[in-house]
Structure 1
Amino acid sequence: MSKLRVAIIGCGKIAKVRHIPEYAGRSDVELVGFADPVPGRAQEYADQYGGEAFLDYEEMLAKLKPDAVSVCTPNVLHAPAAIAAAKAGAHVLVEKPMAVSVEEGEAMIEAARAAGVYLMVGHNQRLMPPHVKAKQILESGILGRVLTFRTSFGHAGPERWSIDGRDSWFFDKSKAAMGAMGDLGVHKSDLIRWLLNDEVAEVASFISTLDKKDTDVDDNASCILRMKSGVVGTLVASWTYYKGEDNSTVLWCENGVMKIGTHPEDQVIVELRNGSVERHTVGAIATNDKQTTSGVIDAFVDSIRTGTPPSISGEEGLKSLRVILAAFESQATGKIVKL
């Protein structure tokens, strides 16, 4: 079997800790190119993994014609890079949020469809073992209907995480378009849609910049969601959890409660009204400090290898993005926004 020729657009932190090493860990993948506008950054990976380095991704696509591409750029470049890659005949894995507007997301989906390539969005929360287990438990029916929920994602901010620290593009609205909601909130809108097998119908939100200096991107958001089924819950995203990262979800159901990511060892806890408690130790939820294999790269490569459209498709990514954009609209208008 010939190796899948993969190129990376954007050589920042997510490429460094997830995409590049996870591709490199597969014997059926060859990393053929790296593109980044910062001189030397792409070259560092070409030196380490082989392949060629480029400052311009368009030049890389034209010269190398890769089979597949990971788009790991600042948010505002997701759409143009993904569309260019699709037009060059490459399957596309794009980081979240897939785009910064509905129109961009639709254009990406159309470009992939027209080119006959796959478009997948890196919503890794669906693939984390505790969330997979939680969905199995929900589908078993033991908890009955979900009635309410809260899902939260917060850490101390991208200055601790990004390759550029406090000078990161994450804080530059012209490159990021949105802050904690684009970084973390969209993960949770995707997770809750998938866990509940339900769509968000209405959003009300408070989104603001509470503590980060010299930036006009949001660092905190608290949202109320009503799902199509009537389930009501909260979604929280924060870059100011300076002590204690949180990536937890709690579901209150007819027959009990399920707590995901609230305990350091027992990642999924089911407490039933009859007094019984089930604890599941099923592997960790990845954090910035403790990276685990995301599963996203394997899912993307396997999808291409088997000719099976990715489950975390562009269409799915767009539905999750719409929730976040609706939250910004709610903050701007002071009204509940219907999806």
Structure 2
Amino acid sequence: MSKIRVAVIGCGSIAEKRHIIEYAANPNVEFAAFCDPVMERAQKYADEYGAKAFANYEDMLAEIKPDAVSVCTPNYLHAAATIAAANAGAHVLVEKPMAATDGEAEAMIEAARKNNVYLMVGHNQRLMPPHVKAKELLQSAGLGRVLTFRTSFGHPGPEYWSIDGPGSWFFRKEEAVMGAMGDLGVHKSDLIRYLLDDEVAQVTAFIGTLDKKNTQVDDNATVLLRMSSGAIGTLVASWTYYKGEDNSTVLWCENGVMKIGTDPEDQIIVELRDGTVERYNVGAISTNDKQQTSGVIDAFVESLVTNTPPAITGEEGRKSLAVILAAFESQAKGTVISL
């Protein structure tokens, strides 16, 4: 079969570290175009992969008509770029958070449906081998119901990761819309929904800017969640874990506890009430320091090759975003928000 012609919109760090190298490694893909307002960035990849460089996606979509696009722009552009690509007949993989508002998320889903193209959201946490295995064990390891949980994602901040360092769009509220919650928190709302196979029913949150200078976006959040099942737990997102990254989840269940990402060797540890301890070494959870293949690109390409809807649909991305938006509403109103 002919290769899938992919265009990458936005050539910053997430494109560089994940999308571009993972597409390049996939035999079903060829690059058609790269877009970035900083033309040198787009040109660099266009030269490397024999594609065309553009400064804006409107011109690219009109001229190139790609089969699929990755939207790797600042958050405020996710919706506009996704809708434009869908209207141009391209399948879309959009980075998280999928949108800045629920209305935008709804419009993106509708654009994909109307144009009969797939929309996938880049929630890579649920594709990481330890999390896939953890979900399987929750159903088979005799742990029983999840009663309480904590899930955390923290690192020193985007200035250590973004291509623009301290001058990154991540710190500009008009472009980022949200800070640590949009960067990290939405990964965790997606993960907890996936692991527990459950929806968030109620949200209470403390969100603030504790240490980052000259920014209006949040650098820390601690969120209390009640799931539809009744399980309660905390979700933490932080850009001030200066001593190192934490991407761990602990689930306390009727018959024991499951610890994910708490041990440097064994990614999953199950401790049962009868004294049994099971340890699983099942591939790493990707970090900024140790990049692993995210699985997102391969899943997206597989969906296109087999003509099967992606597992992480726009609807899934919208539900995970709704939790984060509810957390901001809770912080603003000082109250519990029901979803």
TM-score between the two structures when normalised by the length of structure 1: 1.00
Q: Name 2:246's counterpart in structure 1.
A: 246
Alpha-carbon distance between aligned partners in 2 of 1:237 and 1:28, rounded to the nearest angstrom: 36
Q: Name 2:51's counterpart in structure 1.
A: 51
- Determine if the alignment matches structure 1 residue 161 to structure 2 residue 161: yes
Query: What amino acid is aligned across from residue 180 of structure 1 in structure 2?
Result: A
What is the CA distance between 1:141 and its match in structure 2? 5.1
Alpha-carbon distance between aligned partners in 2 of 1:246 and 1:133, rounded to the nearest angstrom: 19
Q: Name 1:257's counterpart in structure 2.
A: 257
- Determine if the alignment matches structure 1 residue 108 to structure 2 residue 108: yes
Task: Look up the SS of the partner of 1:159 in the other structure.
Answer: helix
Q: Name 1:329's counterpart in structure 2.
A: 329
Q: Name 1:185's counterpart in structure 2.
A: 185
Q: Name 2:194's counterpart in structure 1.
A: 194
Question: Structure 1, residues 247-304: CA drift from partner, whole Å, max 9, x if none?
Answer: 0000000000000000001000000000010000001000001100000000000001
Question: Structure 1, residues 193-212: CA drift from partner, whole Å, max 9, x if none?
Answer: 00000000000000000000
Q: Name 1:289's counterpart in structure 2.
A: 289
Alpha-carbon distance between aligned partners in 2 of 1:306 and 1:46, rounded to the nearest angstrom: 27
Q: Name 2:232's counterpart in structure 1.
A: 232
Identical amino acids, percent of aligned pairs: 75
Equivalent residues of 2:39, 2:53 under 8 A apart: no
Q: Name 2:148's counterpart in structure 1.
A: 148
Alpha-carbon distance between aligned partners in 1 of 2:297 and 2:244, rounded to the nearest angstrom: 28
Q: 5+ unaligned residues in a row in structure 2: which ranges?
A: none
Equivalent residues of 2:180, 2:220 under 8 A apart: yes
Query: What amino acid is aligned across from residue 299 of structure 1 in structure 2?
Result: A
Alpha-carbon distance between aligned partners in 2 of 1:145 and 1:54, rounded to the nearest angstrom: 51
Q: Name 2:87's counterpart in structure 1.
A: 87
Alpha-carbon distance between aligned partners in 2 of 1:133 and 1:205, rounded to the nearest angstrom: 29
Alpha-carbon distance between aligned partners in 2 of 1:327 and 1:49, rounded to the nearest angstrom: 42
- Determine if the alignment matches structure 1 residue 119 to structure 2 residue 119: yes
- Determine if the alignment matches structure 1 residue 5 to structure 2 residue 11: no
What is the CA distance between 1:85 and its match in structure 2? 0.3
Question: Structure 1, residues 79-129: CA drift from partner, whole Å, max 9, x if none?
Answer: 000000000000000000000000000000000000000000000000000
Task: Look up the SS of the partner of 2:149 in the other structure.
Answer: strand
Task: Look up the SS of the partner of 1:210 in the other structure.
Answer: coil
Alpha-carbon distance between aligned partners in 2 of 1:301 and 1:188, rounded to the nearest angstrom: 24
Alpha-carbon distance between aligned partners in 1 of 2:27 and 2:126, rounded to the nearest angstrom: 25
Question: Structure 1, residues 3-36: CA drift from partner, whole Å, max 9, x if none?
Answer: 0000000000000010001101111100110000
Q: 5+ unaligned residues in a row in structure 1: which ranges?
A: none
Task: Look up the SS of the partner of 1:247 in the other structure.
Answer: coil
Alpha-carbon distance between aligned partners in 2 of 1:45 and 1:259, rounded to the nearest angstrom: 40
Alpha-carbon distance between aligned partners in 1 of 2:201 and 2:194, rounded to the nearest angstrom: 14
Q: Name 2:31's counterpart in structure 1.
A: 31
Q: Name 2:42's counterpart in structure 1.
A: 42
Task: Look up the SS of the partner of 2:160 in the other structure.
Answer: coil
Query: What amino acid is aligned across from residue 158 of structure 1 in structure 2?
Result: P
Q: Name 2:209's counterpart in structure 1.
A: 209
Question: Structure 1, residues 54-89: CA drift from partner, whole Å, max 9, x if none?
Answer: 001110011000000000000000000000000000
Q: Name 1:320's counterpart in structure 2.
A: 320
Question: Structure 1, residues 207-264: CA drift from partner, whole Å, max 9, x if none?
Answer: 0000000000000000000000100000000000000210000000000000000000
Alpha-carbon distance between aligned partners in 1 of 2:39 and 2:187, rounded to the nearest angstrom: 31
- Determine if the alignment matches structure 1 residue 270 to structure 2 residue 270: yes
Question: Structure 1, residues 160-208: CA drift from partner, whole Å, max 9, x if none?
Answer: 0000000000000000000000000000000000000000000000000
Q: Name 1:73's counterpart in structure 2.
A: 73
Alpha-carbon distance between aligned partners in 2 of 1:110 and 1:244, rounded to the nearest angstrom: 40
Alpha-carbon distance between aligned partners in 2 of 1:313 and 1:285, rounded to the nearest angstrom: 22
Alpha-carbon distance between aligned partners in 2 of 1:297 and 1:74, rounded to the nearest angstrom: 19
Alpha-carbon distance between aligned partners in 2 of 1:332 and 1:27, rounded to the nearest angstrom: 48
Query: What amino acid is aligned across from residue 207 of structure 2 in structure 1?
Result: I
What is the CA distance between 1:39 and its match in structure 2? 2.5
Give me the CA root mean square deviation. 0.5
What is the CA distance between 1:53 and its match in structure 2? 0.2
Query: What amino acid is aligned across from residue 331 of structure 1 in structure 2?
Result: Q
